[in-house]
Amino acid sequence: MASSSGSLPRYIALRVLLIVPLVWVLLTVVFLLLRVAPGDPVSATVGDRLSEDALDERRAAAGLDRPLVVQYLDYLGNVARFDFGNTFRTDTPILSIVRDQGGATLTLTVGAFLIALLIGIPLGRLAGRFRDTPGDVAIRVYGVVSYAAPLFWVGILLVVLVNAVAPSFPTNDIASPFTKLDSEAYTKTHILVVDTLLAGDTGAFLDVLQHHLLPCLTLGFLLSGVIVRLVRINVIQALQGDYVEAARARGIGEGRVVRKHAFRNALVPVITVVGLQVALTLSGAVLTEKTFNWPGVGSALVRYIGERDYIAVQGLVTFFAVVVVFTSLIVDVINALVDPRVRY
Amino acid sequence: MRGLWRTIWDTKGVARWVLVGGVLVTLVFVAFALLAPWIAPYGFAQNNIDGTKLPKLAEPGSGYLFGTNDQFYDVFSRVVWGSRTALQVIALSVVFAGIIGVPLGLVSGFLGGWVDRLLVFVMDAVYSFPALLLAIVFSFLLNDKVGGGVIPAALSLTAIYIPQYFRVVRNTTVAAREATYVEAARAIGAGPFTIMRKYLFNNVVQSVPVVATLNAADALGTLAALGFLGLGIQPTEAAEWGYDISRGLDDAQSGVWWPAFFPAMAIILLITSLTFVGEGLNETVNPALRRRRHRPFRFPQRDAAQEVSS
């Protein structure tokens, strides 16, 4: 990496350049897995329904009869132009699937993150301050259980609970049928929360928000455990710092020491690691979307896996890889802006 | 072994109880797995006794400890057989990942140079990728080509965990490479292979058990997720908790809670106890995190002390 005199622009430039090999490695892994493995996408998808000649025709149409090296270069070139290919059965561009369904995944994950921070930071702070007390043990057990409990099981428990308490509360999909019909017009940003608001339709907006509650809680529950553990360990470490000892020596009360001195410093590493949870969040989103029939990218992936559509699976997995790489770039840049120690 | 026990016992706070509790619960599941044919009243895919079908969705207690599910299976038997499947998959995937990851890390850390840089880069890229997606891609392929048994499931989890062993082992190797004992070994003419095998391996491998137990916990969750997505172990091959839960979800919404509840509890218990073992090990064995207990100290009797001085 850059020398210790590295400046901020230099660091950011290096970090952006690093994206190219990173994406390249991931794309190569995806290609190797899905294409070089024996068998081919065409016979896996429609092999049982077509004759051998028809299969050859389909292979040629999809460009699968060319040498693997050509296919590989072609694939890299297409991804560079943000072309992730078309689904095999319906010939829909993957990018249009992402455009139509990405908004639902985006609002799901953002909502889940907010909930996770809202639960995780206070709990982690409490546990860190009162280390080894029964309260700390209870919060740590919460952290472990939130990670141990299968996400889909948590989701269904919430559904059962809500059905018992408020039977009319939505537990499925992103909007009620009546809203959905109207929402054909809501395609300005393809993010339903924003579109309903832009259209000034308060009823639909509230309906969509209500639908977000359970999926966001479910995914947020998983993430909150991670954040609890992180904040706890960082508060503990911060409380061992010399400046905390100095604050205590000046006679500042323990509550104020934690609030003003330890807690803020404990949050800096949390920003980094929270950014690294994108991978976990996307994994969780796939499960959450399947549980709640959420019309997001994760549901699309599960559907195409069920249909054995290799090309669609390859395209969507590639898209996820690109998302992960770019989010980690953004997180690193934010980090460099917040914390001067990062710019090494 | 006695030394390890001492270390654990002298640790302050809840860490040692966490470790002991985790080990005990894990052992119960190991017993289930080993003794499944004797503990489970029925086979994992047995829905009849001599041609008479078991009742459908019988409530827990009514002759069936955990009830029966919509496929006429005994839920208790499925949970017991499921622990065999779970532990098989976990053990295999952890061992596979270790077999690949540990030597790679050792060689990479020891050699350094461009080999090291390349491997680190590739491993970091794989590590940054969502674990579940990686497992999905692998089991999607393996399901198509090999089938949905225990070994394909274990293989699809292996890829996720290789980078973690690689990282830990590589970093400790880099730190240990310059140690005096390695230099001494080199001075008496030991070749690189001997140094890695005889000198570095034993020192570096100590960090592996913690990673392995934490990975085991994670592997179980991922296996269940694959089962939920219909990609993991196929129901004809073995009993798998994730599949049972996903099958029971619809029933759970209409009030029939037991087909999904008991496998879910099994997953939660086993993941929690494996995590406890991992974190407990970490906090007792890792000197950086460990806090020693102050043992009660009794001053010698006053008159005894006088006797000594006189």
Q: Is residue A335 part of a domain?
A: no
A27 and A101 housed in the same domain: no
C-alpha to C-alpha distance for B79 and B272, rounded to whole angstroms: 17
By C-alpha distance, the chain B residue nearest A323 is B129
- The predicted structure's pLDDT at residue A341: 63
CB contact under 8 A, A152 and B121: no
- A1 has pLDDT over 50: no
Query: Among residues 57-96 of chain A, which lie with CB inside 8 Å of chain B?
Result: none
Cβ atoms of residues B219 and B96 within 8 Å? no
Q: Is residue A318 part of a domain?
A: no
Domains identified in chain A, total number: 2
CB contact under 8 A, B128 and A151: no
Residue in B13, B131, B260 nearest the CB of A153: B260
C-alpha to C-alpha distance for B278 and B211, rounded to whole angstroms: 7
| CB < 8 Å to A286, chain B | 132-133, 136, 229
Higher pLDDT: B45 or A193? It is A193
Cβ atoms of residues B277 and B27 within 8 Å? no
Q: Which long-range contacts (CB under 8 A, 24 or more apart) does A335-342 make?
A: A335/A271, A335/A272, A335/A275, A336/A8, A336/A11, A336/A12, A336/A15, A337/A8, A338/A268, A338/A271, A339/A268, A339/A271, A342/A11
- A74 has pLDDT over 50: yes
Cβ atoms of residues A97 and A316 within 8 Å? yes
Residue B195 carries which DSSP code?
I
A285 and A175 housed in the same domain: yes
> How much of chain A exceeds pLDDT 90, in percent?
12
What is the domain range of residue A171?
97-306
CA quadruple B235, B237, B242, B245: dihedral sign: positive
pLDDT tens digit at each of 310 positions of chain B: 556 666 666 666 666 777 888 889 889 988 888 887 787 777 777 776 666 666 766 677 766 667 777 776 777 888 888 888 889 999 999 999 999 999 999 999 988 889 999 999 889 888 888 888 889 888 888 877 777 788 888 888 998 899 999 998 998 888 888 888 888 888 898 888 888 888 888 877 877 888 888 888 889 999 999 988 888 787 777 788 888 888 877 777 777 777 788 888 889 999 989 888 888 887 776 666 666 666 667 777 776 555 555 4
C-alpha to C-alpha distance for A103 and A96, rounded to whole angstroms: 12
DSSP A240-295: TSHHHHHHHHTT--HHHIIIIIIHHHHHHHHHHHHHTTHHHHHHHHHHHHHHTT--
Q: What's the gap in Å between the CA of B196 and the closest CA on chain A?
A: 28
Residue in B125, B131, B144 nearest the CB of A39: B144
CB contact under 8 A, B246 and A152: yes
Q: Is residue A149 part of a domain?
A: yes
C-alpha to C-alpha distance for A40 and B145, rounded to whole angstroms: 11
Query: Hey, which residues does B53 pair with through a beta bridge?
Result: B48
A63 and A169 housed in the same domain: no
Question: Measured between CB atoms, does A26 come within 8 Å of chain B?
Answer: yes
CB contact under 8 A, B268 and A44: no
Q: Is residue A319 part of a domain?
A: no
By C-alpha distance, the chain A residue nearest B12 is A132
C-alpha to C-alpha distance for A146 and A218, rounded to whole angstroms: 10
Residue-wise pLDDT for A259-296, tens only, equals 877 887 777 777 777 777 888 889 999 999 998 888 89
Residue in B128, B221, B224 nearest the CB of A279: B128
Tally of CA atoms within 13 A in the half-sphere of B189 that contains its CB: 0
Residue A37 carries which DSSP code?
S
Q: What's the gap in Å between the CA of A126 and the closest CA on chain B?
A: 17
A75 and A194 housed in the same domain: no
Report CA-CA distances (Å) from B225 to B221, B231, B232.
6, 9, 8
Which tokens sit at B278?
């991992």
By C-alpha distance, the chain A residue nearest B279 is A144
Question: Sorting pLDDT into bands at 50, 70 and 90, what band is A108?
Answer: very high
Q: Which residues contact A165 (CB under 8 A, 6 or more apart)?
A: none
A117 and A256 housed in the same domain: yes
CB contact under 8 A, A313 and B137: yes
Q: What's the gap in Å between the CA of A262 and the closest CA on chain B?
A: 19
A63 and A183 housed in the same domain: no
CB contact under 8 A, B229 and A290: yes
Residue-wise pLDDT for B18-50, tens only, equals 788 888 988 998 888 888 778 777 777 777 666
Q: Is residue A314 part of a domain?
A: no
**C-alpha closest to that of A334 among A278, A256, A262:** A278
- The predicted structure's pLDDT at residue A2: 40
Question: Sorting pLDDT into bands at 50, 70 and 90, what band is A221?
Answer: very high
A172 and A295 housed in the same domain: yes
| Tokens 């008991």 belong to residue | B262
Alpha helices in chain A (DSSP H): 8-31, 41-46, 52-61, 68-80, 94-129, 134-148, 151-165, 177-182, 192-198, 202-239, 242-249, 254-256, 263-275, 278-291, 297-306, 310-338
Q: Which residues contact A124 (CB under 8 A, 6 or more apart)?
A: A139, A227, A228, A229, A230, A231, A232, A234, A235
Residue A93 in 3-state DSSP?
Answer: strand
Give counts: helices (H), strands (E), chain B: 14, 2
Q: Is residue A43 part of a domain?
A: yes
A194 and A122 housed in the same domain: yes
Residue in A25, A287, A290 nearest the CB of B125: A25
A188 and A224 housed in the same domain: yes
Cβ atoms of residues A165 and A173 within 8 Å? no
Query: Among residues 287-306 of chain A, which lie with CB inside 8 Å of chain B?
Result: 287, 290-291, 301-302, 305-306
Stretch A203-214: mean pLDDT, rounded? 86
pTM recorded for the entire structure: 0.85
| CB < 8 Å to A324, chain B | 128-130
Which tokens sit at B5?
């026990």
A272 and A299 housed in the same domain: yes
Most confident of A38-42, A68-72, A259-263: A68-72
A165 and A111 housed in the same domain: yes
C-alpha to C-alpha distance for B148 and B140, rounded to whole angstroms: 10
- A304 has pLDDT over 80: yes
Residue in A25, A152, A287 nearest the CB of B121: A25
C-alpha to C-alpha distance for B230 and B232, rounded to whole angstroms: 6
Higher pLDDT: A169 or A186? It is A169
Q: What's the gap in Å between the CA of A111 and the closest CA on chain B?
A: 19
By C-alpha distance, the chain B residue nearest A276 is B128
A170 and A238 housed in the same domain: yes
Q: What's the gap in Å between the CA of B133 and the closest CA on chain A?
A: 6
Q: What's the gap in Å between the CA of A70 and the closest CA on chain B?
A: 22
Tell which of A30, A54, A80 closes a domain.
A80
Q: Is residue A226 part of a domain?
A: yes
CB burial string A173-208: b at 16+ within 10 A, e below: bbbbeebbeebeebeeebbbbbbbbeeebeebbebb
- The predicted structure's pLDDT at residue B174: 87
Tell which of A80, A105, A126 closes a domain.
A80
Q: Is residue A168 part of a domain?
A: yes
CB contact under 8 A, A150 and B145: no
CB contact under 8 A, A150 and B245: yes
CB contact under 8 A, B249 and A30: no
| CB < 8 Å to A147, chain B | 221, 271, 275
Residue in B129, B257, B264 nearest the CB of A324: B129
Residue B59 carries which DSSP code?
P
Tell which of A46, A80, A114 closes a domain.
A80
- The predicted structure's pLDDT at residue B91: 92
C-alpha to C-alpha distance for B75 and B58, rounded to whole angstroms: 10
Question: Sorting pLDDT into bands at 50, 70 and 90, what band is A3?
Answer: very low
| CB < 8 Å to A321, chain B | 129
Question: Measured between CB atoms, does A145 come within 8 Å of chain B?
Answer: yes
Tally of CA atoms within 13 A in the half-sphere of B90 that contains its CB: 27
DSSP A137-171: HHHHHHHHHHHHS-HHHHHHHHHHHHHHH-TTS--
**C-alpha closest to that of B42 among B86, B71, B75:** B75
Residue B52 in 3-state DSSP?
Answer: strand
| Tokens 């909150």 belong to residue | A224
Q: What is the CATH number of the domain that holds A153?
A: 1.10.3720.10
- The predicted structure's pLDDT at residue A36: 65
C-alpha to C-alpha distance for A174 and A297, rounded to whole angstroms: 13
Residue A202 in 3-state DSSP?
Answer: helix
| CB < 8 Å to A37, chain B | 141, 145
C-alpha to C-alpha distance for A67 and A72, rounded to whole angstroms: 9
CB contact under 8 A, B129 and A321: yes
Cβ atoms of residues B169 and B110 within 8 Å? no
Residue A178 in 3-state DSSP?
Answer: helix
- A185 has pLDDT over 80: no
